[in-house]
A and B are shown apart, each in its own frame.
Chain A
Amino acid sequence: MSAIYTLLISLGQLEGPHSTLVQKLIDILSNPGVASLIAIIVPCLIIFLLVQAVAGISTYIERKLAADIQRRVGPNKCNIGAFFGEFARATVSNGKSPNAGAGGKLMAALVGPLVPVIDLVDKLVIKLAPGILIFLADGIKLIMKEDIIPDAVDKPMFKMAPTIVLASAFGACAALPFSDAWYVANFETGVLYIAAITSMEVLGILMAGWASNNKWALLGGMRSAAQIVSYELPVGLALVTGAMIAGTLSLQGMIYDQFGFHDGGNGMTTGWFWQWNLFHPAMFVLAPVYFLAALAECNRTPFDIPEAESELVAGYHTEYTGMRFAFFFMAEYAMMCVTSALAVTIFLGGWSTGIGPLESALMTNDVATAANHWTPAFHWYGTLLHLIVFGTKTYGLVLLMMWIRWTLPRYRVDQMMTLCWKKLIPMGMACFFGVALWMLVRMQIVLRFSEESLFHVTFVLRLLFAFGVLGFIGWFFAKPLTAEQRAQREMLEKSGLQGTSVAQ
């Protein structure tokens, strides 16, 4: 991350009365080699912890979402009061007992003041998110579990497989454009890198399936290989079309492209959300194609065929226990985040807020200059806002994935293949060649007229298209249910609820 590197280097240029020790430390840190090493390690650590936390909280959110959709309560027992409060109270009462040693008394003195704080937080959180700490309990349980390696497995491969799956999901985070200045690395070939490293996941899954020496696991692994290799193609087509439109493989470059810059522009058109690729006609078709294929790549319902628990016991991770199983689990959520982030980057304008004047206000350099030279730079608070916007958009898509999971049932294997090869790939190919053709036509138009006039026409068309699409989606979800649907829903709600009390 270049920001950390610059920070450390600039630290060395500070003038001031330092003690020799501090000065030495600063000298070491501002050494270019050390600074670049730190600038590599720190973001890696941040992302490692972030992905774990997000994966953990996602399990809670997913369970709660499922409960809401299925008219259940969901997890509600493991609250902050139950988790930390009980511990704190036990510590305090332990410190009060006559047998308490110095350590116990110290712990009680430290924890004692926290009890009211914990209670207050518990009261606030229990309304908002009951059972929030269930993921922590799950994690502790998984860590404490026995790590079983069956005798008949291929041990090195069995041990390696979860690591590869997780590493491929983590590795993809390296190229993600979290914000305009805060990212781990900005590859010139970012799209290629992500496409390559997310495909590594299938290797780990296949290894797990094969090494487990279990027919269900092997079937799951084989299904996964067939599925992921097939669905790489629609993903690839969407990525290539996006790269064609942007004219670059760099993810940051794609986001800048969606800012709506054009040569000779005055900046008035910059940063509006209808410049996002989603509202490009071809990319609008490719967006659902990409999203479905991404679902399949994450092995999420309706494409959770590799781990179909009603057909194969648990698919490729049947034989795994404890943390090794948790690795697969975590990789699934990390993969969801990565594919969603990629979708945000390619279709939804990345970290851009989508509001033109706001983006202009956040820029440090002149908007017109930036638009002409494609070099916007932002204030630090703009960068922070972009980070938040990117996270929100990404997690929104993750929530959409969860919503789909609890809506659609699982595909049959042949249906899954039919969808990929007969529907998604033809659509992707049509869009791909359509965009290629349009680029040729566009070149002619630009030659005959001017880039600017063309830009103005597409600007207006896109604006209308964007509002049309958003209006349709809003109308569809806002319009009341038909009489038949309402009757069905009422019937469902009434069934099983008019019972008599047990009290006799």
Chain B
Amino acid sequence: MIQFMQDIYDGMKTFMVGMKVTGGYLKDSNLHEKETVTTIDYDGSMTMARDVKVADRFRGHLHNDIERCIVCKACANACPIDCFWIDGEKTESNKLRPSRFDIDLLKCMYCGLCVFACPTGCLTMTKEWWGATFNESDGTNLHGQLRRFGVGYFTADQKAVIEKKRFEAAEAKKKAAAAAAAAKAAAEAKKKAEAAAAAAAGGAAPAAGTPPPAAPATPKPATPPAAPAAPVAPAPEAKKPDEPPKA
């Protein structure tokens, strides 16, 4: 019986105290105008997003100070979900430097383990949280899911070489496509001409000279002008993180 009364007393008391605590918050109307509210009245603009205050230990997008990176891949080993893609190469002074440092931020869960693993402290988490883009060509969202944050993904000379190679490959592809299209068009034209000639025996031969519409005089630009400042990554199947660094 005493236990029963004690239970009821405790229950009522804790209930009242709880109601008082939440009631205290409830009492402050117009919360959104107060400093202490943890969410803000967001109007969707970028300027407002810039002014947002985030917590001290907020973990935002990753940032790599590429000049100090030693390609030890400790971050890639620490990463529980393998969102790193790191390649290195030797410089003239026989030191390693990164030739590629990509982080797939759509995979990244912002756990921060890579930051703890980094021996040089070049990999950090910024307070940058704005990851939304309106289209793929905004420069922050490449190939849909691969994001590159950092100063340099390639050194300048490498970038030039790779871009040159890529340009050449694209040109070759274009040329090949154009040649193939031309050959095809020619073949089709020939066929048609033959057919027309066969039909011409009847008398009213249709104009054989009109080429089929599938033969464009100029080949389309094969690839969209993929942001020259940020070279296009190879297809994900080619991803081999443990590849030895190229000489």
- Residues on A close to B: CB < 8 A? 65, 67-73, 76, 130, 288, 403-404, 406-408, 422-423, 426-427, 476-477, 481, 485, 489, 493, 495-504
Could you list 18 further interchain pairs (A-B, Cβ under 8 angstroms) beyond the known A407-B22, A481-B24? A71-B39, A73-B41, A76-B32, A130-B32, A403-B22, A407-B18, A423-B7, A423-B11, A476-B16, A481-B20, A497-B35, A498-B56, A499-B53, A499-B55, A499-B56, A502-B49, A502-B60, A502-B129
Q: Assuming the A-B contacts A71-B31, A73-B31, are A489 and B21 also in contact, with contact meaning beta carbons closer than 8 angstroms in the complex?
A: yes
**Which residues of the other chain, A, contact B8 by a CB distance below 8 angstroms?**
423, 427
Contact partner, A68, options B4, B26, B54, Cβ 8 Å:
B26
The CA of A481 and the CA of B123, in the complex, are separated in Å by: 45
Interface hits, B220-247 → A, CB 8 Å: none
A493 and B36 form a contact (CB under 8 A): yes
The CA of A488 and the CA of B93, in the complex, are separated in Å by: 58
**Which residues of the other chain, B, contact A427 by a CB distance below 8 angstroms?**
8
A501 and B52 form a contact (CB under 8 A): yes
B53 and A72 form a contact (CB under 8 A): no
**Which residues of the other chain, A, contact B31 by a CB distance below 8 angstroms?**
67-68, 71-73
B38 and A496 form a contact (CB under 8 A): yes
**Which residues of the other chain, B, contact A76 by a CB distance below 8 angstroms?**
32, 41
Interface string of B111-128 (1 = CB under 8 A from A): 000000000000000111
Shortest beta-carbon contacts, A-B, top 8: A499-B53, A407-B22, A499-B55, A499-B54, A73-B32, A496-B55, A72-B39, A493-B36
**Which residues of the other chain, A, contact B35 by a CB distance below 8 angstroms?**
497
The CA of A477 and the CA of B11, in the complex, are separated in Å by: 17
Q: Which B-chain residue is minimally distant from A409 (CB atoms)? A: B18
Q: Assuming the A-B contacts A69-B25, A496-B55, A502-B50, are A477 and B20 also in contact, with contact meaning beta carbons closer than 8 angstroms in the complex?
A: yes
Interface hits, B52-105 → A, CB 8 Å: 52-56, 58, 60
Which bucket holds chain B's interface residue count? Answer: 35 or more
Q: Which B-chain residue is minimally distant from A493 (CB atoms)? A: B36
Q: Assuming the A-B contacts A68-B28, A403-B23, are A500 and B36 also in contact, with contact meaning beta carbons closer than 8 angstroms in the complex?
A: no
**Which residues of the other chain, B, contact A67 by a CB distance below 8 angstroms?**
31
Min C-beta distance of B104 to chain A, whole Å:
23
The CA of A72 and the CA of B16, in the complex, are separated in Å by: 23
B51 and A502 form a contact (CB under 8 A): yes
A501 and B29 form a contact (CB under 8 A): no
| Most chain A CB inside 10 Å of its own CB: which residue of B56, B126, B129 | B56
Q: Assuming the A-B contacts A65-B26, A69-B25, A73-B32, are A500 and B56 also in contact, with contact meaning beta carbons closer than 8 angstroms in the complex?
A: yes
B56 and A68 form a contact (CB under 8 A): no
Query: B207 near A: Cβ within 8 Å?
Result: no
Min C-beta distance of A234 to chain B, whole Å:
14
The CA of A476 and the CA of B23, in the complex, are separated in Å by: 12
Min C-beta distance of B43 to chain A, whole Å:
9
Q: Assuming the A-B contacts A65-B26, A500-B127, A502-B129, are A72 and B38 also in contact, with contact meaning beta carbons closer than 8 angstroms in the complex?
A: yes
A497 and B36 form a contact (CB under 8 A): yes
Q: Assuming the A-B contacts A72-B38, A427-B8, A498-B56, are A503 and B51 also in contact, with contact meaning beta carbons closer than 8 angstroms in the complex?
A: yes
The CA of A319 and the CA of B130, in the complex, are separated in Å by: 36
Of the A-B pairs whose beta carbons lie under 8 Å apart in the complex, a sample of 16, sorted by A's number, is A65-B26, A71-B25, A71-B31, A71-B36, A476-B16, A477-B20, A481-B20, A481-B24, A495-B55, A496-B38, A497-B35, A501-B52, A502-B51, A502-B52, A504-B127, A504-B128
**Which residues of the other chain, B, contact A489 by a CB distance below 8 angstroms?**
21, 24
**Which residues of the other chain, A, contact B53 by a CB distance below 8 angstroms?**
497, 499-502
A69 and B26 form a contact (CB under 8 A): yes
A502 and B25 form a contact (CB under 8 A): no
**Which residues of the other chain, B, contact A504 by a CB distance below 8 angstroms?**
126-128
The CA of A408 and the CA of B14, in the complex, are separated in Å by: 10
**Which residues of the other chain, B, contact A403 by a CB distance below 8 angstroms?**
19, 22-23, 26
Q: Which B-chain residue is minimally distant from A399 (CB atoms)? A: B26
Query: B110 near A: Cβ within 8 Å?
Result: no
Q: Which B-chain residue is minimally distant from A473 (CB atoms)? A: B16
The CA of A320 and the CA of B101, in the complex, are separated in Å by: 48
The CA of A91 and the CA of B108, in the complex, are separated in Å by: 46
Min C-beta distance of A102 to chain B, whole Å:
38
Contact partner, A404, options B19, B21, B126, Cβ 8 Å:
B19
B58 and A499 form a contact (CB under 8 A): yes
Query: B37 near A: Cβ within 8 Å?
Result: yes
Q: Assuming the A-B contacts A71-B31, A73-B41, A496-B38, are A406 and B24 also in contact, with contact meaning beta carbons closer than 8 angstroms in the complex?
A: no
